[in-house]
Amino acid sequence: MAVQPTFAELLAKCQRSAVHLEMRDGYMLDDPNYLAWRNGERPVPGSRPEWAHPWYEMVGAVISRGGSVRRARIVSEPISDYVRFEYDTTDVCNITAGEAVRWLPRRQASDLPLPGNDYWLFDDGIVLFNHFDGEGNATFRDTSSDPAVVELCRHAFEAVWQRAIPHHEYRPA
């Protein structure tokens, strides 16, 4: 069995585009940043929290090479606490890093063909699937460069992106 490249390795090699489709309503509910948010800590608009600095560096490297990083989130409404946390931290984490982020209410995605797992697609050539247990904990990742899988993920992301609402326009229910 071949060794799977890590997310960081794939993003470091990315030249043109990295897209991420998130379809769950909760992830890693024991994340210290989420727990701090649940305890009332909120990001300061315009700040660059220390915990996000590695993300700024990784995304910034793609942007500096002329690439783009886009993230689309399919969410149930009313949104979960975890999705509210993501929404509240998107400006200081994702947008500040250089990502474009959009939100699609799940009821507007019913007729879209979507892969069964969240994924990253790098340079329209390799897909990194993220697998989670029922509680949102990451269990493993695997990659595919199969042209049919890449095309499914590329098409799914673009279909979601077309319908999705830009972060600064989205008002969660």
Distance CA 89, CA 60 (A): 18
- Which stretches of the chain score pLDDT less than 70? 1
On whether the CB atoms of residues 75 and 104 are closer than 8 A, the answer is yes
Q: What is the pLDDT of residue 101?
A: 98
Q: What is the pLDDT of residue 90?
A: 97
**Domains and their CATH numbers in the chain:** 7-166 (3.30.870)
Cβ neighbourhood burial of 94 (10 Å; 0-12, 13-18, 19+): buried
DSSP code for 24 = -
Q: What is the pLDDT of residue 1?
A: 61
